[in-house]
Structure 1
Amino acid sequence: MTVKNKTILITGGGSGIGLEAAKQFLEQGAKVIITGRNQDKLNEAKKKYPSLTVIKSDAGNPEDAITLFNQVKALGGIDILYHNAGVLSPLLNLGIPDDRHAESAAYEMEVNYLGVIRLNNIFMEMLQQQEESAIINTTSLLRYVPSIVEPTYSASKAALGFYTESLRKHLQILNSRVKVFELLPPVVATEMTADRTGKKLSTQEFVKQFITALKKDQYTIRIGDTKALYLLNRFFPKIAYGLVNSKESYKSLQ
């Protein structure tokens, strides 16, 4: 996959992995558009990297998706749609009745799963018209092994993983030029993981490895601990489950 001179749209690009990806894609000679819900973060990103194009847009909002498409079309279109936006709801014990269980799950599925499908559908014709284009869906190592403290988040990423595999095969059957990548991060040092202890990969190193794999057309991009967990889960699923769900995880639910 060629990155230089491509126009890339990154959802959730105002901070964390998304902003670091925007920075490194710019350094690779790409044009970058980032979206996000927080205008202040977008403004700060624009101030830091003036060549960025920023658009306020909520990845889970159907109306925003249509508006975003029209704005991107007016700018000349894109070659790569990179779904980076994601949400993680606060910890809730599913064993205790609480209306927030369904509310949290619906929110996560709307942003992490349905929002991705919605944007892919809207932008598909535009991407089909490019000589070389791509869709990048971000799942997680939790798409292989669920976390008991992040149950519905894990489910949303598992759903996105299966969808990504199917989308790739559908486009291959149609002889489409749109490449479909699945990006599987380990635990990366971002705002979302700020309260976690233990090993975390820096955003800089994560994005560096991601772009290297993208340029090699590595359609399933497992980085860091995701590689080890994937293999371990295939042959020793109980051990993999135990690594993801430590004794501290059980204590947090009590």
Structure 2
Amino acid sequence: MKTTGNTVFISGGSAGIGLAIAKKLSAAGNKIIINGRNEERLQEALAELNGAVAIQGDLSVEADRIRIADDLKTNHADVNIIVNNAGAAFVNDLSDPNNNAAEKAYTEINTNYISVIHFTSLLTPLLLQQEEAAIINISSIAVFRSNKYLPTYSASKAALHSYTEGLRDTFAENEKLNVYEVYPPLVNTDFSAEIGGANGIPPSEVADELFAALGKNQFEVPVGETKIYAAATQEAFANIVRGKA
């Protein structure tokens, strides 16, 4: 896919991975539209981007999803890439009966999975009108291995992964629309601060890997440590196929 001359919408684009992707794609000559819940943070992000615009809103809220999609269709009808990056995560101790585990899981599933499905469905008709288009879902290393600190977050990302594979299969015969999935490991952002994000990779590394993958039409984009898990999974699948053969 071309890496310049696109119009790119990035949810959660005011900080962290989303902002890093916005900077990378903006520097390469793409028009950037960022989204976030906090107007002040959006304005701060715009100050770091050349010619970008912002649409404030919370994509976990249905009314906001519809409003943002309508704004894009009306005012930015040339959008040909959407990056579903906005997310929610909670440390969730399943051994604590007072932890509100289900409530936290509901928020994660709604934000990381259900909202992505709905927003993507709202924008897909517009994407299909473009000469070349892409849907990019920001997943996680948690797809390959959950843990006791983020069990429900991991489950929400596993659901996103399964949906992404199905979405890719759905449009496999449409050469104009490609579906990418990015698997970051622990990344040093405010989002991950509660789980030791300071020990993670810089968000710019995620942006660099995605940019390279776009140029190669590499639809699966493991980053950093995730490459080890992804390679092991591919090898295991290949062994199963060889065994059946």
Alignment TM-score, normalising by the size of structure 1 = 0.87
Q: Which moved more, 1:97-106 or 1:227-236?
A: 227-236
- For structure 1, the residue ranges without an aligned partner over 5 or more in a row are 237-254
1:214 deviates by: 1.6
Distance of 1:103 and 1:57 partners within structure 2: 22
**Equivalent pairs, count:** 234
Residue in structure 1 matched with residue 185 of structure 2 by the alignment: 186
Residue in structure 2 matched with residue 79 of structure 1 by the alignment: 80
5 Å-filtered alignment, 1:92-241, equals: 92-98=92-98, 100-173=100-173, 175=174, 177-195=176-194, 196=196, 199-232=199-232
| Residue aligned with 1:85, SS | coil
Letter in 2 for 1:178: L
- 8 Å Cα contact 1:13/1:34 also seen in 2: yes
- For structure 2, the residue ranges without an aligned partner over 5 or more in a row are 237-245
1:45 deviates by: 1.1
Distance of 2:80 and 2:217 partners within structure 1: 15
Per-residue CA deviations over 1:13-64 (Å, capped at 9, x if unaligned) read: 0111111111111111100000000111001112232511101111211100
Distance of 2:38 and 2:198 partners within structure 1: 29
5 Å-filtered alignment, 1:4-43, equals: 4-43=4-43
Distance of 2:138 and 2:197 partners within structure 1: 23
* RMSD of aligned residue pairs (Cα, Å): 1.8
1:176 deviates by: 5.4
| Residue aligned with 1:172, SS | coil
Q: Give the direction of change, closer, same or farther, for the CA distance of 1:235–1:214 in structure 2 (3 Å limit).
A: closer
Q: Give the direction of change, closer, same or farther, for the CA distance of 1:233–1:172 in structure 2 (3 Å limit).
A: closer
- 8 Å Cα contact 2:17/2:203 also seen in 1: yes
Distance of 1:198 and 1:134 partners within structure 2: 31
Alignment TM-score, normalising by the size of structure 2 = 0.90
Distance of 1:23 and 1:2 partners within structure 2: 17
1:232 deviates by: 4.2
Letter in 2 for 1:186: P
- 8 Å Cα contact 2:85/2:138 also seen in 1: yes
- 8 Å Cα contact 2:92/2:151 also seen in 1: no
Distance of 1:235 and 1:100 partners within structure 2: 38
| Residue aligned with 1:135, SS | strand
- 8 Å Cα contact 2:36/2:56 also seen in 1: yes
- 8 Å Cα contact 2:190/2:197 also seen in 1: no
Letter in 2 for 1:189: N
Percent identity, aligned pairs only? 35
- 8 Å Cα contact 1:187/1:199 also seen in 2: yes
Distance of 1:34 and 1:65 partners within structure 2: 14
Distance of 2:149 and 2:203 partners within structure 1: 23
- 8 Å Cα contact 1:188/1:202 also seen in 2: yes
- 8 Å Cα contact 2:17/2:207 also seen in 1: yes
| Residue aligned with 2:83, SS | strand
